[in-house]
Every structure is written in C-alpha cells, then in structure tokens.
Chains A and B, each alone.
Chain A
Amino acid sequence: GIQVEQSPPDLILQEGANSTLRCNFSDSVNNLQWFHQNPWGQLINLFYIPSGTKQNGRLSATTVATERYSSLYISSSQTTDSGVYFCAVDLNYGGSQGNLIFGKGTKLSVKP
C-alpha cells in the first residue's frame, strides 16, 4: 500500500523561529490534507492541498504532486503551534474508499 513518511519526527523550536515540515508519499494521490493535533487531542484542518501552494496567516503549504511530496512551512512560531502535525493522503484511483492514509506525524514543541 501507499507509504506516507513525515520528517522530522520531532522538532523543538524557540518561539519566533521558522520551520519546514515534510511529507513524502509513494504513489499518486487525489487528496492531501495537513492537520494540527493540539495538546488536547483535537484534529484541526490546516490545508486541503492536493497540488499547488496555499497560505493561511503564518502557515503555508506546497504540494508537488509529480514529485510526490508536500511541505508545511510555519513562520514566526508561537507556543500555541505546539502539537503534532499530520499529513494525510487519499489514493488516486477509482477504487479508493476516500479514506485518508495518515503519516506518523511531526511532534513540534515551541519553547517560550
């Protein structure tokens, strides 16, 4: 089956620093989403981005479908950015269930 690999697995930042999280996938995809799981366990939709670039405030994401990767860029990090960031993909074929295949996540800790 499709492999979704996220890097780095853990990241510690000082408040105000920038960071880039990476998601590589092994097959063509129909859908790619980035989520932030906050310390209370809630999954928050960040981006729906099967291709191209999107920005939302201090966050931006880019997916290059032909090269099978996506990046999430966090600028001027804040302590509230702490948590786990998940990349999830939906396979691009007719028999797809539509369900998302999740990577193992990047655990981000932002220190004050």
Chain B
Amino acid sequence: NAGVTQTPKFRILKIGQSMTLQCTQDMNHNYMYWYRQDPGMGLKLIYYSVGAGITDKGEVPNGYNVSRSTTEDFPLRLELAAPSQTSVYFCASSYLGAFAYNEQFFGPGTRLTVL
C-alpha cells in the first residue's frame, strides 16, 4: 500500500513552458485534492475532485487545469508557466461518505521552480 505518490519530485521550468504533475493513490479514496505551499505559508487548495469525472476549483485555480478519469489518478496541468507558480505542490486524498471520516493523506510533494 503505497498511499499517495507524486511525480516528479523536482522540476525546473522556463517561463511559458507547460507540464503535468502526476498523482496516484491506491487507497480507493473518492476525494482527491491539489494544494500548493508557498515559502513560510500553509497550504492552499488549487483544485479538488469528488470522484472520477468530477472536478471543481479551489481557492487558487488560475493557471492550472485538472482531470480525473479514474479513481486512482488526479493529474495537475500547468499551462504557460509563470514565476508566480514557483511553489511546492502536494496531492492529497480522503474518503468522504455518510458517517465517514475526512482524514486526508498527503503525497511527498513536487518542488517546482519557474525561471
């Protein structure tokens, strides 16, 4: 049981480039999230998904896109990278349902630098 895995661990992009951050969970969780963490701050929600085929915006969605074609995978797409997207990106998952907990489990993060 690997939990939540993310790739890559580190990436440097040039301004205007695009990339996809991968996230996979093997806990059969229905909810998945993408957060970003800027230096010295807590995490902020970018996008979330309540199940395959359903996604919605969080607090800071501009410049990002997501898709969820399977329960396990929730990739985050950066289009036209900008220096403001330099951050650490965390993927998380949880199970929500009637009488179910929402304990979230986090991946190891992707450190992205845009130059």
Q: Which residues in A have some Cβ–Cβ distance to B below 8 Å?
A: 4, 30-31, 33, 35, 41-43, 45, 48, 86, 88, 90, 97-100, 102-105
Say which size band chain B's interface belongs to.
Answer: 20 to 34
Instruction: Tell me how many residue pairs across A and B have CB atoms closer than 8 Å.
Output: 56
The 6 closest A-B pairs by CB, nearest first: A102-B42, A48-B103, A43-B106, A99-B45, A31-B102, A102-B43
Q: Which residue of B lies closest to A35 (CB)?
A: B106
Within 8 Å CB of B35, what residues of A? 99
Output the least CB separation between B31 and chain A (Å): 5
Given A42-B108, A97-B56, A98-B94, 5 further pairs, Cβ under 8 A: A4-B42, A48-B103, A98-B96, A102-B43, A104-B40
Q: Are A104 and B58 in contact (CB under 8 A)?
A: no
Question: Main SS of the interface on chain A?
Answer: strand
Within 8 Å CB of A4, what residues of B? 42
Q: List 24 A-B contacts (CB under 8 A).
A: A31-B101, A31-B103, A33-B103, A33-B104, A41-B88, A41-B109, A43-B106, A43-B109, A48-B103, A86-B42, A86-B43, A88-B42, A88-B43, A88-B104, A97-B45, A98-B31, A98-B50, A98-B96, A98-B102, A99-B45, A100-B104, A102-B42, A102-B43, A105-B42
